[in-house]
Chain A
Amino acid sequence: QVQLVESGGDVVQPGGSLRLSCAASGFSFSSYGMHWVRQAPGKGLEWVTFIWSDGSDKYYADSVKGRFTISRDNSKNTVYLQMNSLRAEDTAVYYCAKELGRGYYFDYWGQGTLVTVSS
């Protein structure tokens, strides 16, 4: 069965950096694009970024463009989110999600990892 397991969430000071990882299993990882979606405490969902199956193209939300970088290692079945210049408003649960394969929807999600930006 499909499994997505995020890790790397932590408490970090404003202006700091953090790298999240998402280990995938149960499907042909190199055939699917992958997303990161976040949810601030008590708030709704916000799409963050997407990477194509081969890593050749990436898309970002304006709120993170220039600060966050998505990447993947298909040999390790893992997608990453490098987060720099973190702000208080980046505090959220970060989910990785697999694309449906028929468009940019999210058919499997991880359990999420909490990032808290606070001094």
Chain B
Amino acid sequence: EIVLTQSPATLSLSPGERATLSCRASQTVSSYLAWYQQKPGQAPRLLIYDASNRATGIPARFSGSGSGTDFILTISSLEPEDFAVYYCQQRSNWPLTFGGGTKVEIK
């Protein structure tokens, strides 16, 4: 099973700041990695797939990069609605796995 490790666990930032979230895989997943956003009481929402492709309707301030074992989700300038938990997910191997999440909170 591929283990995804997200860091940091919590990121405290102010609106307008840049957020950089990391996801590291225990073995290569090529570019088969996605990012999701989840707000309290809601289902997750797909942001990025195949490491760098924005899903339909996702604002350009969200971008993804990386390949192999190291991936980054960047939010260029945080909006109030961006404070949430973010998960990475790999689809390189079965079983599909998620990272433990990074909470982006208001500083």
Contacts and interface: CB of A to CB of B under 8 A. Distances in A.
Contacts, number: 58
B44 A105 contact: no
Interface of A: 35, 44-47, 50, 59-62, 95, 100, 102-107, 109-112
A50 B96 contact: yes
A22 to B, nearest CB: 12
A103 B49 contact: yes
Contacts of A111: 43
Interface residues of B, number: 24
Contacts of B96: 35, 47, 50, 104
B98 interface: yes
A62 B46 CA distance: 24
Interface of B: 1, 32, 34, 36, 38, 43-46, 49-50, 55-56, 87, 89, 91, 94-101
Contact of A106 (B1, B44, B50, B101): B44
Nearest to B90: A104
Contacts of B97: 47
Contacts of B45: 109
Contact of B46 (A47, A59, A106, A110): A106
Contacts of A35: 96
A109 B87 contact: no
A62 B1 CA distance: 10
The 5 closest A-B pairs by CB, nearest first: A109-B43, A104-B91, A47-B96, A45-B98, A105-B34
Contact of A47 (B56, B95, B101): B95
A102 B55 contact: no
Contacts of A106: 34, 36, 44, 46, 89
B58 to A, nearest CB: 11
Contact of A62 (B34, B44, B95, B99): B95
Interface centre among B45, B91, B99 (most CB of A within 10 A): B91
Nearest to B34: A105
